[in-house]
Amino acid sequence: MAMPGRRIVVVLWGLLLLVLVLSVTPWAVGSFLGDDYRAEQRIVIARPAASVWQAVMDHERFPIYSSATLRIIDLGDESGLPGWEEELKDNTALVRTIFVLPGTRVEREVTGLGGLMVTRWILELGEIEGRSELRVQQEIHISASGMLGAHLRFVMRFMKSAEVGPRLYLAGLKVDLEKEAAE
C-alpha cells in the first residue's frame, strides 16, 4: 500500500518536471530557429477598390493593431508619408509609412514593442468586378536575444503568431466597410 505522503511527493516532482519541460523546450528549440518570419492573409471585400484604399490609408480609423490600440498619436508626414504611434495596453508601436503606390500598394514599418522585433506590413489592393481583394503580408524580424528571443522565435514558428495581426486587421476592415455600405 502506497503512503499518501509519497504520492504527493511524486505528483510534485511530476509537476516540476512538466514546468521545466514547458519552459525549457521553447528556449532550446527557439535557440536554433531563424530570426525572420512571414505571414500573408487575403480577403475579398464587397466594396470598390477606391473605398478600400481610402480606409487602408486612414490609420486613425483602421490602425495596424486594430482593437488593441488605445490611442493614436499622429507624428505628421516624413517625406510626404504619414507616421504615427499606436499606444497599446502595455506597449507603444511606432508606425512609419515607407512606400506608397497610390491605389495599389502601401508598405509600413512597425518598431517599438520594447525593441523585441521589427515588422513590415505590405498591403496590396486589387479589384475584381467591383469587389476588392486586399492582401497583407507581414514580415517580422526578431531582434531580441537570449531566452526571450528564443521564446519569441518558438511562438512565431509553431503557434503561427505572425498570422494573427493581419487576420484581425483585415477582418475589422471588412466588417466595418461592408456594414457601412449596407447603411
The mean-pLDDT minimum among 22-26, 88-92, 163-167 falls in 22-26
Among 13-17, 58-62, 144-148, whose mean pLDDT is lowest? 144-148
Q: What is the mean pLDDT of the chain?
A: 89
**Residue 114: pLDDT above 80?**
no
Could you tell me the pLDDT band of residue 91, with boundaries at 50, 70 and 90? Answer: confident
| pLDDT at residue 3 in the model | 62
Averaged over 156-163, what is the pLDDT? 82
Distance in angstroms (rounded) separating the CA atoms of residues 123 and 172? 15
Per-residue pLDDT at 127:
92
The residue-averaged pLDDT of 101-117 equals 90
Query: What average pLDDT score do residues 123-151 get?
Result: 90
Residue 172 has pLDDT above 70, yes or no: yes
Domain 31-182 has CATH 3.30.530.20: yes
pTM of the model: 0.82
Mean pLDDT to the nearest integer, 27-35:
87
